[in-house]
Structure 1
Amino acid sequence: MKHWLPLLLTLPLSHTQAAGPAFNCTQVEAGSIEQQICQSEPLSALDRKMAEVYTAAQQKAGNEHPPVLKTEQRGWIKGRNDCWKSADQPACIAELQARYRLVEATGPVFYQCDGNPAKEVVARFFRTEPPTAIVEFGDRSSLMYLEQTASGARYQGQNESLWEHHGEAIVVWGYQEPEMHCTAR
């Protein structure tokens, strides 16, 4: 499978297509993630934006030792390619968009829990499809997906959840952990 991000390094920004991604769609393999990007204007727009950001980051990280930017790029490509194999591609794409901050976020929103200033939960909400949030508590973070509710907004992670309604939130952080009652500051 061809990796499109390394191609970005050789493309001047002035040659990116206005309606397509920053790479040539005539050279992509059928059934690849690159083909999906070529067929989607929102993904093509994100690809163009990523090309701009990556080029700017590469210029700033030119003499970086060890080469962290290139290592992160390879990790992102692996994640993107694994996403293509996922049974739930929209959720996987939403995860990449949120984790790498490729879409606009609302927040951070700071919540104080159980009346204790030391129990602070920080949430950033991303306009992905499906909607996501990255929620931090202590030294851990959790990617959460919006679930349908009768009222408020409930985000569910692997073992964590945040249910927000009018500035109040109930947060569960860990399997069978007690609820924390939180207020937005």
Structure 2
Amino acid sequence: MLDAATSIRHLLLLIASSLLLSCASQADVPRNNTQPNQADASPSYHCDSASLSSIESLICQTPQLAMLDRQLADVYSLATAKAHNEHPPVLKAEQQGWIKGRNDCWKSDDKANCVALNYQSRIVELQARYRLVESSGPFYYRCDNQAANEVVVTYFNTAPTSLIAEYGDSVSLMVSQPSASGAKYQGQNEQLWEHHGEALITWGYQAPQMKCIKLD
């Protein structure tokens, strides 16, 4: 499975660089608590437990995945510190749901790659939502030439890059996608494609595309 191993190594390089930015932006958090320790090939949990799932055992046996687990643990710790005033408190419950989804990678034909991608998306989500990395914005886009039709966007220096967009009462986290031109971001049912201050934004399943201009 050379291709899967190469893919995981690429993810590790991207996420490790993003975590270093996260550490630098958190002056009140000791650096030695947040930087990934590449010499430690064990995950954040005990591998000798008899109750491990098959995916948890795979992580224990795969140094690259174990490192990803420790990196997520560091990011989750930073997010927890930021979320202590959340009402209602949702971070812990969401993390438990994410773990269940990660463990469902046993159904995948390429289990290791599935696990790595799950870690990558969760790290990006937490870093953006809790502002753990450098960001730019907010930027305001007026859509379909209507002053009341506005999308507010903040960009985050995650790996891969991401954004959080607000439109009316709804919010979407989008992650960058390969694009021949401009910058393209995809969320669950939303998409933003920006080029030279103009953006095509789709908001919602099968929703019409909006033509938007970035305001000065």
Task: Classify the TM-score, shorter chain.
Answer: 0.5 to 0.7
Match of 1:29 in 2: 46
Pair 142,79 (structure 1): closer, same or farther in 2 beyond 3 Å: same
Quote the offset at 1:93 in angstroms: 1.7
Pair 138,146 (structure 1): closer, same or farther in 2 beyond 3 Å: same
The aligned runs of 1:152-163 (5 Å cut-off) are 152-163=182-193
Quote the offset at 1:135 in angstroms: 1.1
Match of 1:11 in 2: none
Identity %: 38
Quote the offset at 1:146 in angstroms: 0.5
CA root-mean-square deviation? 3.5
Instruction: Confirm whether residue 123 of structure 1 aligns to residue 183 of structure 2.
Output: no
Quote the offset at 1:47 in angstroms: 6.1
Letter of the 1:146 partner, please give it.
Answer: S
SS at structure 2 position matched to 1:177? coil
Structure 1: gaps of 5 or more residues = 1-13, 62-66
CA distance in 2, matches of 1:113, 1:180: 6
Contact 1:19-1:44 at 8 Å conserved across structures: no
Letter of the 2:67 partner, please give it.
Answer: Q
Quote the offset at 1:120 in angstroms: 0.2
Match of 1:75 in 2: 93
Letter of the 2:179 partner, please give it.
Answer: T
Structure 2: gaps of 5 or more residues = 1-27, 48-58, 61-65, 106-113
Contact 1:160-1:174 at 8 Å conserved across structures: yes
Quote the offset at 1:28 in angstroms: 3.8
Instruction: Confirm whether residue 19 of structure 1 aligns to residue 32 of structure 2.
Output: yes
Pair 44,174 (structure 1): closer, same or farther in 2 beyond 3 Å: closer
TM-score by length of 1: 0.66
Contact 1:80-1:96 at 8 Å conserved across structures: no
Instruction: Confirm whether residue 165 of structure 1 aligns to residue 201 of structure 2.
Output: no
Pair 181,73 (structure 1): closer, same or farther in 2 beyond 3 Å: closer
SS at structure 2 position matched to 1:183? strand
Contact 2:174-2:185 at 8 Å conserved across structures: yes
Match of 2:137 in 1: 107
> By percentage of residues, which structure has more strand?
1
> By percentage of residues, which structure has more helix?
2
Match of 1:64 in 2: none
SS at structure 2 position matched to 1:117? coil
Q: Which whole-Å deviations, capped at 9, do the CAs of 1:10-50 have from their partners, x for residues lacking one? A: xxxx995x43449xx89842347xx536855xx676467x2
Match of 1:7 in 2: none
- More moved, 140-149 vs 77-86: 77-86
